[in-house]
Amino acid sequence: MKRFGTDEVDVCIIGSGAGGGPLALTLARAGCSVVILEKGPWYKAEDFTHDEIAISRRDFFVPYPSAEPHLLSRKQGDPLEPSSLGWTANCVGGGTVHMSGYVFRLHPEDFALANRYRGIPGHTLADWPITYQELAPYYDMVEREVGVSGKAGEYPFEPPRAGPYPFPPLAFNPLAARVDDACKKLGLHPFQTPRAIVSSAADGRSACVYCNYCGSFGCEVNAKSSTAASVIPKAIATDHCELRDGCMAYEIATDKEGRATAVRYITKTGERVEQKARVICVAATAIESARLLLASKSAAHPDGLGNKSGLVGKNLSFSTLAKVYGALERAALPDAERADHPIHFLQRSLQDDYFVKGRKGYDKGGTIVFQLAHRSAVYTAERLARRRTPLLWGEALKREIFRAYKDVIELEAEVFGEFLPNPHTFVALDASTKDKWGLAVAAIHVDNHPEDVAVSRVLADKARAVLEAAGARQLGSEAVGGTTFVLQHGTARFGDDKKTSVLDRHCKSHEVPNLYVTDGSFMPSSGGVPSTLTIMANSFRVGAHLAALRRNGALR
């Protein structure tokens, strides 16, 4: 890997996840000198195991609140409390390393929701300055470059696409047929879930081995299409890109005219270093990018970098959440369904209610993903204990755990819904609380819009109906109208009007001509899908814009 030192490079990117990795690849291929600064370590495939305690219950991905707290208020008026929520993953590849890999495109209607819901009070939606058609080629690029498996043309609500997925769909458990039949009985249109997991070997990466440890775990064979496994190695192979892990960016320096000149960061050995760059791109997640911009104060930017509008940190959105579950009694199942199967994926989704039919006013629904319950032991014990009031404990919990592993097969449905941005959901700096470096931390204020919660219930009821039609019993739900904190958007949203947005249509700051933000911060709305694919696609789009500037001698 090429080493650039601290001399000025063309581009410095802060963050190596969904918003940073594709950008780095595009710029490195264009011949730009690129330095990526990543706060966390650079894990390799051999570092990932199925040890739930080490990987998911310690600080492998997310720091302990004692060292690097976020402050969180879950409802307007509630006090701020230290939390690990709001972190995605501190490592090369960011949250793409431990994601489940559900990758759906936004729909064309998602780009103009403010106009659609202008009569709904209490939200701060804004229409996108670009259309689906402008982003669609970059969706194609993501699927090709990172590796996405799926089957196109299976359902009537599919967003337009240029052709098939680059990889065939993943294999699935025989119980998927039960979900298909249940959906069809209800007049619904199930389809195979597109996944950022390669179903056949490519680019030196193994095909999926169906270990069922995707969500919350890294992939030991590099089949999951994290940026660490896909685009970042390609960027480094160009010899134009250097990645530095263990580097905590704490300030973006500016000159007296207000242009960004360098990124100041702390190395893993505690040294404070300044990396100069002609262009600086921030991609540290919507929460942490807002924190960095707000902390980068100067005479030219007294309220934070690029924040004359006062909108940095505002309009934060996530994804609304609901989980529904039900049990199939093994003894009542046919032999082909009763036995433990080597493939634990159901690979079925629904978008029939991406916009809820017959609902007046706010009708924005979302996506339902069907899956088999994760079988990791601590998670299983936790979810079973929480389903009773008071919490199950002791012998009663032990019986439920044995039953979960031996007597039943549990089906689940996970709902991804629109999160309406609103004045009470935002990120601010809190200097009264410091992290291990003595830096002010992010204070996250959350308040779900009541329409989000209402529609989340509608989708949960639809998922429940499918599970019941599939033969599941002991049906229940949890976290309906809740929040998926790892899907973050909106804190520096883009738009054509600098009074109502932080970035222009190319994700460049309206105020700082060489500053870009390419994580989910740019998104004016969350969409009714996990946003990872969209963030990656936009990162490729911004990269193409910057590469064109370089070709024209205008990268500065």
Q: For the chain, which ranges sit under pLDDT 50?
A: none
Are 213 and 372 within 8 A, CB to CB? Answer: no
Q: Cβ contacts of residue 20 below 8 Å, gap of 6+?
A: 13, 14, 36, 94, 227, 281, 283, 518, 519, 539
Taking CA 547 as the corner, what is the angle to CA 546 and CA 552, rounded to the nearest 5 degrees? 95
CA separation for the pair 123, 117 (Å, rounded): 9
Query: Looking at residue 556, what is its pLDDT?
Result: 86
Are 456 and 481 within 8 A, CB to CB? Answer: yes
* Three-class SS of 350-395: ECCCCECCCCCCCCECEEEEEEECCCCHHHHHHHHHHCCCCCCCHH
pLDDT for 381-438, tens place per residue? Answer: 999 999 988 999 999 999 999 999 999 999 999 999 999 999 999 999 999 999 999 9
Q: How far is CA 38 from the centre of its chain?
A: 17
| DSSP helix/strand/coil, 241 | strand
Going by C-alpha positions, the residue among 102, 48, 50 that lies closest to residue 348 is 102
Please classify residue 66 by burial: count the beta carbons closer than 10 Å to its beta carbon, then call 0-12 exposed, 13-18 middle and 19+ buried. Answer: exposed
* Three-class SS of 303-356: CCCCCCCCCCCCCCEEEEEEEEEEEEEHHHCCHHHHCCCCCCCCCEEECCCCEC
Query: Looking at residue 509, what is its pLDDT?
Result: 98
Query: Looking at residue 336, what is its pLDDT?
Result: 87
Q: Domain map of the chain by residue range?
A: 9-551
Query: Looking at residue 339, what is its pLDDT?
Result: 86
Are 418 and 458 within 8 A, CB to CB? Answer: no
Query: Looking at residue 6, what is its pLDDT?
Result: 87
Beta strands in 5-69 (DSSP E): 9-14, 34-37
State which CATH number among 3.50.50.60, 2.130.10.10, 3.40.50.720, 3.30.1950.10 fits the domain covering 9-551. 3.50.50.60
Are 301 and 255 within 8 A, CB to CB? Answer: no
CA separation for the pair 423, 449 (Å, rounded): 10
Both structure tokens of 322: 């609901």
CA separation for the pair 43, 90 (Å, rounded): 10
